[in-house]
Structures are given as C-alpha cells and as structure tokens.
Structure 1
C-alpha cells in the first residue's frame, strides 16, 4: 500500500488517483493561489480529494467520507477531524480550485477508434439541461427561487439548472454550466460555445432549436442536427434526391429532413412526425435516412444525467446550504463522474470494446472499494492501462443494446411531469422501428 506521506496520506481517490494525481491537484492549487500557508491537519490537497470522494459516497456526510478515506490507513498516524473542521477547510478552499480541476478533466475521453464516438468523421455530441435539487435554505432560495404548480406558488426544493455538452460515444462531459433556472436552458447553454469547434456535430432537441442557440452553435464552427418545433416555417429553396430540402433559418443555410417514425410493440404501434434541421448540406456524404437514425444518439446525454442523478446522487438533495458550497459540490460531482467515465473509456479502448457495454454502476462500486481499501493509489513502474476498475467492467459486460420503448414519466408526486393516472402502462417493451422520409411537410406535433 503506497499513499502520500504524513498528513497528506488521506488525500487519495483509490485507483482513480492515477487519473487525477497529486501533481495535477498541486498544480491547480498553485495556479489558483489556494496552497495553505502552513501545514494543517487538512491541507488543501487533502480537501480536494475529500470533495471528489464525496461524489462517490453521496449518501454519506463529509465526516463519514473522511472515515472511508482513512479506514485502511490505521497503520499511519492519521489526524482526527470533526465535521466542523471539514466545513471550515471547504470554505478556505473555495470554488476556484474545483472549477479549475474540472476544466482540466473535462473532455470527450475518446480515441479516434472509440466505437460510436464519431460519425462521418465528426465527433458526435449532445446538449441538454437538467435540474439538481438543493437545500431549502433562505440564501439559496433567494438566489434560485422555487418552482410553482397548480396547488401552490412555491413547492419542492430550490433547483440548480445544469446544462452539459456530452460526448455521445463515451457519455463523458466536455463542458458544463449551471445557475438559476431563469432565463432558461437555451440561454444558459450558450456559454458552452467555448467548447464547440469545427469537427463536431451537436445534437439538439426542440428546446435548444432557438434563433440565439442555433446562431451561437453555427458561429463556433460546429455543425448541428436539431429537431424543429412547429413554429418554424422555413422556406424550401431546393429539393434533394434523398428527400431532404435546402432551406434557411436564422440566416443559416440548412437541410431539413421531414420524416415519420413508427414504433411497434406487441401492445400496438405509435407514429410521430419529426423535422430535423442540419448544417450538413451534402446529401451524398450525409444522407437523410442516416441523419434520422443518428439523431437517436441525443438520448446519450439523458443517460449521462441518469448516471449522475440516480446512480451517483440517488436522487438526493445536494449537501451544501450556501451558493459557494453548492458550486464547489457540483464541480466536484462532475469531476468525479468524469474520472469514472475516463476509466471506463480507457478500458474499453484498450480492449476494443464499445463503452456502451461497460456498466457505470459496476465501475462506481469498484471505485468505491478502491477508495476504502486505499488501493492502487500510486501507479507501479509498469502502467496498467485497464486497472481494477477496467477489469471489473470488462469481466461483467452489459448485453448489446436492444431497441426498447418505455413511457417517459416521473413518479415524484410534486413533479411537473405528473403520473396523471394509475392506469398508465409503465412497462418496458421490446420494439421495432420504421423510418419513412417524407417528401411533403409533416404536421408537427
């Protein structure tokens, strides 16, 4: 067992420390001017690792996280700390180091040959927003407000709006921004343009198909593939043999693909009309049918949110009760998620496996075990590109993804997506899909 010396020993993340080594954390602290002036029981580097470990053990308070980090270090004179000392250390550290660390870790986490990462030479990414529940504290409520519904003017917990740019092939976070829910996800999401660049294809749902966001995406040099809502009435400038048409929206030349998608199960079938707009103007290199099939990859960002909110957070409220603490906690949570995704991607690439076959839950549980055992903190002279986390996910591969249909419903009683009726069928069914490219304008839902 090899860990850092002295009071720095609790500062580790098990095997994930090899992805975020001591030198990286020290460099971030130096850059942000956050290195402690004197050595305390809780040096700044140790506090960073405590925050990252808290993302692995979201059901625990910070004091319990500390006990998990130090549980295997009984042979060392590990200092005893209190919950108050941990809170004071977090306040001393501030937000900047965690934001800077996330900036170092974020990225697509994919190699050129990673399965599903690219299409027609373009890195496939998606943008979407979600909400994180935070403590109902007066200061937080004043900044974020509270949601309202038909029963009351203020209900539930205050929420932070998180908008992320996610690589569809690996579900790694390329960039993320967060803040109050107003003025909306499409406006907050414009800040993600700093991470968009030529060679990207950005998949967008109807909520992001706005004049401002489409122009922001196009001006970054990235291509987009967006579903249009019914209020768009673009002109038809030319028709292509694959059924798509040349048009112009928001001053941008686009191809529009109209289609009907029918999903059939043993309980019946359902047909929906869709319009997709893209800045990929060559119908020979980017056929309409293939674009429609590709658009389904947008749901990978929803899977990433599920892993963060359900698998890691367990749908819990964030611990912090102040806005700086919330920002610090969100950056730490995203950084820890990114570390696990990087470990999965490295293992999948080394083994030549699709990252979709690698279980995030298995990787998370293995990473937790490595932390409580203080195992593989420092790499050997011979680098193991797969490691214990990689071997765990490769030894228990998930089955190849099947086409399935499940109604979108949120079961929380105060949700803005109510269950409506106990008669709603929420079973998941095997499904088949049929795509028809339309030569006339569909009636949008």
Structure 2
C-alpha cells in the first residue's frame, strides 16, 4: 500500500520524474517499502507551503481528502516527523535549485531593460519557533524593555527578477553577519546580461566588488558616507566617478512626491556601471530604479499572502532549512505557472494576481485535480484561467507612509496620530548637476 503524493495541477511543473531524479541524486531514495516514500514526503512539504495555518497532519488530509476511494494509509504527526527527518534538507535544496530562475522569456513584458534582465537584491526576516536549539543558533531580538524579545528570526536574502517576481537565487541564515555579507553568495547566480538594482544597504565595497566581478551591471543608491571624486561631467547631468575601485556613473536627482496631503522632496544619488550616457540616460535610470520595489512585493507575497505572518512550524535548524526551501519552491512553482500564462496570452505579469493563483492552487491540491496531463495538453490550466479571468488593473502610483507593520499595540497609531491611508500620488524627477556631495 503506497501513499499518494501530488501537488494538484502544479505537479506538471514539478513532475514525479523530477522529484525522483532529485532523490536519486541526493541518495535519499528509501531502501525498503514504506507507507510514506520519499517522493510523497517531498510533495507533503511543498503542499505545506500552501496551507501554512495547518499542521502537517492537516496538510496530509488535504492531500488525500479527494482520494477516499483509494487505499490511503493513515499517518500520524510522529510518522510525518520521522519521514521528514529521513528525507533531510539536501533534496529540498536540490529541488529549489532546479526550479529557481527568472521564469521569463525575451518577450516577457517588463522583464528587460535595454536588453538586460532587471533583477534586485534585498533581505527580509522570517519568524521561527522560539525553541532552545533555535535560540542558540539565531539568538533573539532586543528592545528598550528587555534584552530578549519576540521570536528568533532567519535572515533571508534573495535575488529576484523584477519583471516576474520569480526567485533566481536565495540564501538564508543568522542575521548577525548582515544582509550585504550574506548576500554575496548570490553573485554566483549573477550574469553579464543582468542589471542588479541595489538599496543603499548593499552599496558596500565588498558587495559592489563582488557584483562587478560577476560581470553583471549594477544600479545602486549611495548612502551619505560615500564621497566619490568627480572625474568628468556628462550632458545628461550624470558624473563619471570611482567608488570601491570601480569606475561608475553617478546621477544625483531630486524626487518630489505630491499627494492631496502635500508634497515631500528628497535627494538621491544612484551609481551604475553603465557608463554610456547616450545608451543609458540618467533620467531613464532614475525611473528604472523604482523597479527595485518588486523584491519587496515578492517578500509580501511570501510572508503575508502565503504565510499569513505565521511563525514557521519547525523547531530545529535542519527542519527550518527544509521548510524554507520547500516554501521557496512552492512560491516559485506558482510564479512559473503565472509566467507561463502571461507568456501564452501576452499579458504583463504585473496584471496577474498572485492571490488568485494561490487560491486556485490550494483548490487543485484539495481536489487532487489535473495531476497528470491528458492527451491534449492545456498550456493555461485552471490556475492560468483563474489569473486571466480576473486581471489586476493597471498600476497606479500610490503612496503609503512607512510605519511599523506589526506594532505592539494595534491602536498605537491613533495616539501617535499616524496617517495610514494610501493616497494617490504624482512624482516629478529633477536631475541635479550640482556637486555629488549631498
């Protein structure tokens, strides 16, 4: 009696042959017949990323609920725990390595700029269980009231394709080294045809040098501590300079955001290794830099839409590693499905709803629907139809004030008089030709 394992319609993207090949490569194939073969455990972990509010036994019931006519073994939480321990972390990492990538083509709308794939790097934190073994590895946060507060956190740093929000590569670990140091491992996935957008936190000597060494170009916001020399002036208002031993162009700009509540102006400096002002004008680079926020949207989809801001289930570091790779793989599977339908229908991926795709993916798992392809292959599928039937409207420029997303008190904003409304906004950009120093 064998246990069924699937991921609904998305089993076609991560088919049985792919999972079996990963297990064979990692030496994780079982040596005797078990109720929970390794392949099934992989699909249970992937499905767990869809149903974050459920424990693993509840995830198992959702996987097998539509298979009541078949001989489905009954498993317990302990059985699932032992199966996860036998599987280990290597197969889930290897599966993520097969799935990760930009999930775009040359013709995908918004994926490229000037022939280069636009990507971004940023970091975020995931809350994990407050277990003794986890605290020993990750530590805990502190505030003005206590030396240890909140849940331990894992620092996740990802390289994301801005056009599709697909994860090209990701690394995670304790937050103490810092995101710019941990993120240097992402340069293994950077290529010469990429333009990497970086926040000021990544505009460090080490990270910029590592990015330039990979052959990729970067567009980074400089913090105030950089005092680069002026080597030449260009007609578009940009300046030739040198930072971290790298020859760069620097564009200083004044950006004004206007809403019904008034306006706000800030001065920014962007440095890039694209040195030709005719092919890559400063004004176009400043407009392009806004695409860096796509990585923030990726983290929102993972942490809010998928996780619902819940703490990860695992209470050991190997279990956390296994769960994060499974979560990233599940996210990537949804993104691949969205990109496929966007390419097939000529739709901009920005108009494809991740929430609609996620809800349909959950339904497909619960119904065990479209697990294998028939004689006629449906390139769009149920997930694709759910996305294109309810396209999102064209994006409008809106402004929401930065505030603590998870305050200690849900009513604190009332006493502090913080306006949390989202307002329509207009932006004006003025390239500055004044000296570089802010």
What TM bracket, shorter-length normalisation? over 0.9
Residue 16 of structure 2, aligned match among 14, 17, 22: 22
Query: 1:7 maps to which residue?
Result: 2
Cα distance in 2 for partners of 1:316, 1:442 equals: 44
TM-score, length of structure 1 as denominator length: 0.97
1:48–1:396 CA distance, 2 compared to 1 (3 A): same
Kept in 1: contact 2:154–2:175 (CA 8 A): yes
Query: 1:253 maps to which residue?
Result: 247
Query: 2:267 maps to which residue?
Result: 273
Residue 280 of structure 2, aligned match among 286, 292, 304: 286
Residue 206 of structure 1, aligned match among 200, 208, 230: 200
Kept in 2: contact 1:273–1:442 (CA 8 A): no
Query: 1:228 maps to which residue?
Result: 222
State the 4+ residue runs in structure 1 displaced beyond 6 angstroms.
Answer: none
Q: Structure 1: state its 5+ residue gaps.
A: 1-5
Query: 2:360 maps to which residue?
Result: 366
Query: 1:145 maps to which residue?
Result: 139
Cα distance in 2 for partners of 1:257, 1:421 equals: 40
Aligned positions, number: 436
Kept in 1: contact 2:227–2:437 (CA 8 A): no
Residue 76 of structure 1, aligned match among 65, 70, 77: 70
Residue 175 of structure 1, aligned match among 159, 169, 176: 169
SS at match of 1:67: helix
Cα distance in 2 for partners of 1:286, 1:421 equals: 47
Kept in 2: contact 1:12–1:371 (CA 8 A): yes
Kept in 1: contact 2:352–2:391 (CA 8 A): yes
Query: Cα RMSD between the aligned structures?
Result: 1.2
Kept in 2: contact 1:273–1:443 (CA 8 A): no
Query: 1:3 maps to which residue?
Result: none
Residue 159 of structure 1, aligned match among 153, 157, 160: 153
Kept in 2: contact 1:411–1:419 (CA 8 A): no
Kept in 2: contact 1:238–1:245 (CA 8 A): yes
Cα distance in 1 for partners of 2:332, 2:307 equals: 14
Query: 1:356 maps to which residue?
Result: 350
SS at match of 1:37: coil
Q: Structure 2: state its 5+ residue gaps.
A: none
Tell me by how many angstroms 1:412 deviates. 2.0
Task: Establish whether residue 47 from structure 1 lines up as the match of residue 51 from structure 2.
Answer: no
Per-residue CA distance 1:420-441 (angstroms, 9 max, x = gap): 9530111101011000000013
Tell me by how many angstroms 1:381 deviates. 2.2
